[in-house]
């Protein structure tokens, strides 16, 4: 079990200082947690300039120095490369915690748990919801799956960049929570596309109508994100990321989920594909 005597200020190792990971690592340092970092490209460490942290030349050195290794990487394959090809778990201390902040398959969390079990290392999947602007504001929702002892250790760390930390179950449950969250958000994109298409066909002025939708009972993150987080400049990129997430959702829910699952997949994917059009319709 994780050493609860270090629960107030566990030493954190961070890997993945990209668009989403950099604000997380910055918040962790600003909250006073001892922070260590490693990056494939040393230039990435510039995201931590001006903050107290220790840089490591190798992943193994970082793993040996910390209580928690937090990974914020793009795909499951990146996580598995560090674990299975670079031997990350072999260098972590028994009782330490490996956290995956990326979005991926629940099956990968189960695979990591199986690999880590013999070493006494705990696995927590903790994808975050909100996007870059929300990460910078430190108002993310962190969706955490893992055993209770590990979650008690890492929750204060997650609170440094979150408005809410939700414990949704054992390892893998965090990924299910994130994938369902993303699916519903994309379905809301499709709802907006359909509703605004009707309004446009009626020659209604869209700007005041959007003000009503943003302020009234129809308000949603799917709509309010246009402007702050979703713009004409990044809509094509975000569309591709959302479609990747829907592929993950489809894989994670394959089997006996019924026709409703197929409906969710189709509608959410249509919402993702419509992001560029939505930015034009909302004037962003």
- Compute the CA torsion angle 25, 112, 260, 216 (nearest 10 deg): -10
Count other Cβ atoms within 10 Å, centred on residue 104.
Answer: 27
Are residue 30 and residue 88 in the same domain, yes or no?
yes
Tens digit of pLDDT for each residue in 126-182? 999 988 889 999 999 999 999 999 999 999 999 999 999 999 999 999 999 999 999
Query: What pLDDT shows up at residue 132?
Result: 86
Nearest CA among 276, 183, 191, 182 for reference residue 231? 276
Are residue 62 and residue 164 in the same domain, yes or no?
yes
Q: What is the CATH number of the domain that holds 53?
A: 3.40.50.720
**With pLDDT > 70 as the criterion, what percentage of the chain qualifies?**
97
Average pLDDT, integer, range 197-222: 94
Q: What is the CATH number of the domain that holds 263?
A: 1.10.1040
Q: Assign residue 70 a region: left if phi > 0, alpha if psi is -120 to 50, beta otherwise?
A: beta
Out of 68-82, 137-151, 162-176, 210-224, least confident range: 210-224
- Checking if the pLDDT of 4 tops 60, the result is no
Query: What pLDDT shows up at residue 9?
Result: 86
Phi, psi (rounded to 5 degrees) for 125? -95, 125
Average pLDDT, integer, range 272-282: 93
- Cα–Cα distance, 125 to 45 (Å, whole number): 24
- Cα–Cα distance, 191 to 186 (Å, whole number): 9
More confident residue, 4 or 251: 251
Tens digit of pLDDT for each residue in 53-67? 999 999 999 999 999
Q: What is the value of pTM for the model shown?
A: 0.92
Are residue 68 and residue 191 in the same domain, yes or no?
no
Are residue 231 and residue 162 in the same domain, yes or no?
no
Are residue 16 and residue 91 in the same domain, yes or no?
yes
Nearest CA among 271, 193, 280 for reference residue 238? 271
Strand spans (E) along 128-227: 128-129, 140-145, 162-169
Query: What pLDDT shows up at residue 2?
Result: 42
Q: Which tokens in the block code for residue 167? A: 């414990």
Number of domains into which the chain is organized: 2
Are residue 160 and residue 218 in the same domain, yes or no?
no
Are residue 149 and residue 184 in the same domain, yes or no?
no
CA distances from 21 to 102, 140, 252, 253, 264 (A): 9, 12, 24, 27, 29
Query: What pLDDT shows up at residue 228?
Result: 81
Phi, psi (rounded to 5 degrees) for 173? -70, -30
- Checking if the pLDDT of 3 tops 50, the result is no
- Compute the mean pLDDT over every residue in the chain, rounded to the nearest whole number: 94
Query: What pLDDT shows up at residue 8?
Result: 66
Q: Which tokens in the block code for residue 282? A: 């909302």
Are residue 141 and residue 96 in the same domain, yes or no?
yes
* End-of-domain residue from the set 109, 136, 170: 170
* End-of-domain residue from the set 124, 141, 170: 170
Are residue 47 and residue 137 in the same domain, yes or no?
yes
Tens digit of pLDDT for each residue in 5-49? 445 689 999 999 999 999 999 999 999 999 999 999 999 999 999
Q: Identify the domain containing residue 46 by its residue range.
A: 4-170
How sure is the predictor about 227, in pLDDT bands with cuts at 50, 70 and 90? confident
Average pLDDT, integer, range 258-267: 95
- Cα–Cα distance, 88 to 62 (Å, whole number): 9
* End-of-domain residue from the set 127, 152, 170: 170
CA distances from 25 to 38, 72, 143, 165, 266 (A): 11, 10, 17, 16, 35
Are residue 15 and residue 147 in the same domain, yes or no?
yes
H or E element: which one contains 148? helix 148-158
Are residue 160 and residue 33 in the same domain, yes or no?
yes
Query: What pLDDT shows up at residue 6?
Result: 46
**With pLDDT > 90 as the criterion, what percentage of the chain qualifies?**
88
Are residue 50 and residue 147 in the same domain, yes or no?
yes
Query: What pLDDT shows up at residue 1?
Result: 39
């Amino acid at each position: 079990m994780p050493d609860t005597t270090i629960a107030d200020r566990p030493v954190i190792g961070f890997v993945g200082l990209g668009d989403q990971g950099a604000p997380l690592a910055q918040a962790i340092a600003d909250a006073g947690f001892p922070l260590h970092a490693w990056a494939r490209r040393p230039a990435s460490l510039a995201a931590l300039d001006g903050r107290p942290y220790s840089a490591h030349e190798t992943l193994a050195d970082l793993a040996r120095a910390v209580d928690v290794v937090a990974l914020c990487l793009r795909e499951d394959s990146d996580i598995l490369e560090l674990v299975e090809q670079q031997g990350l778990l072999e260098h972590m201390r028994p009782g330490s915690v490996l956290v995956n902040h990326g979005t991926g398959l629940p099956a990968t969390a189960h695979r990591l748990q199986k690999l880590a079990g013999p070493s006494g290392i705990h696995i927590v999947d903790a994808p975050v919801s909100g996007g870059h602007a929300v990460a910078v504001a430190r108002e993310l929702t962190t969706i955490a799956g893992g055993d209770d002892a590990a979650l008690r250790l890492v929750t204060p760390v997650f609170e440094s960049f979150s408005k809410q930390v939700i414990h949704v179950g054992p390892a893998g449950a965090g990924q299910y929570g994130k994938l369902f969250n993303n699916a519903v958000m994309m379905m809301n994109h499709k709802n907006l596309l359909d509703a605004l298409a009707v309004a446009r066909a009626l020659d209604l002025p869209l700007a005041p109508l959007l003000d009503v939708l943003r302020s009234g009972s129809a308000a949603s993150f799917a709509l309010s994100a246009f402007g702050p987080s979703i713009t004409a400049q990044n809509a094509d990129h975000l569309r591709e990321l959302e479609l990747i997430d829907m592929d993950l959702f489809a894989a994670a829910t394959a089997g006996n989920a019924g026709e409703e699952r197929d409906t969710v997949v189709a509608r959410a994917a249509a919402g993702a594909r419509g992001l560029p059009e939505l930015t034009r319709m909302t004037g962003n």
